[in-house]
Structure 1
Amino acid sequence: ESWHGHLKREWLYRHSIKEFNQAKHEVFWYIESFYNQNRIHQGLNYLTPNEFENKQQKLAA
């Protein structure tokens, strides 16, 4: 539930979305270009999801 709240507050409420395809594009962009790349997460020791995943892969190797 909190993820959906972040999506709405941080991205969707800031854009005027008129069509489904535009909404689909905005959600994809938020996830791939902002949420996974730039947004730090307290539960991941203040790393982005991509940084955390890369760190875990290095530890497993």
Structure 2
Amino acid sequence: MSLETFNIKISLSKNGCPYDNAVAEATYKIIKTELAYNRVFSSFEELEMELFNYVNWYNNHRIHRSLNYMTPVEYKSKMSE
């Protein structure tokens, strides 16, 4: 399979430029801090279920200062009106 199959574009930034991954890295930090810190999951299935629940909570219930104190779902809904 190729990048074209999934309509994925390669990064156009220079090698060593950290800004392409900034959003992903910030998201990983939040997940590690809020979900996984000091936790031991007994199985992959438990981790998978907890991550699913966390993402649901993060998108539908957790307010974000950067989104004017709305949840991502509320913010997206307002922006599409």
When the two structures are superposed, what TM-score results if normalisation uses the length of structure 2?
Answer: 0.60
Identity of aligned residues (%): 35
User: If you compute each CA radius of gyration, which structure gives the higher value, 1 or 2?
Assistant: 2
> What residue ranges of structure 2 are gaps of 5+ in the alignment?
1-24
Q: State the structure with bigger RCO (CA 8 A, min sep 6), 1 or 2.
A: 1
> What residue ranges of structure 1 are gaps of 5+ in the alignment?
none
* Distance of aligned partners of 1:42 and 1:20 in 2 relative to their CA distance in 1, 3 Å threshold: same
Spell out, residue by residue over 1:2-36, the C-alpha distance to the aligned partner (whole angstroms, 9 max, x if none): 1111111111125331211111111111001x101
1:54 Cα offset (Å): 1.9
- Residue number in structure 1 paired with 2:42: 18
Query: CA RMSD for the aligned pairs?
Result: 1.5
Local SS of the residue matching 1:18: coil
- Residue number in structure 2 paired with 1:7: 31
**Letter paired with 2:54:** Y
- Residue number in structure 2 paired with 1:36: 59
Greater helix fraction, Structure 1 or Structure 2: 1
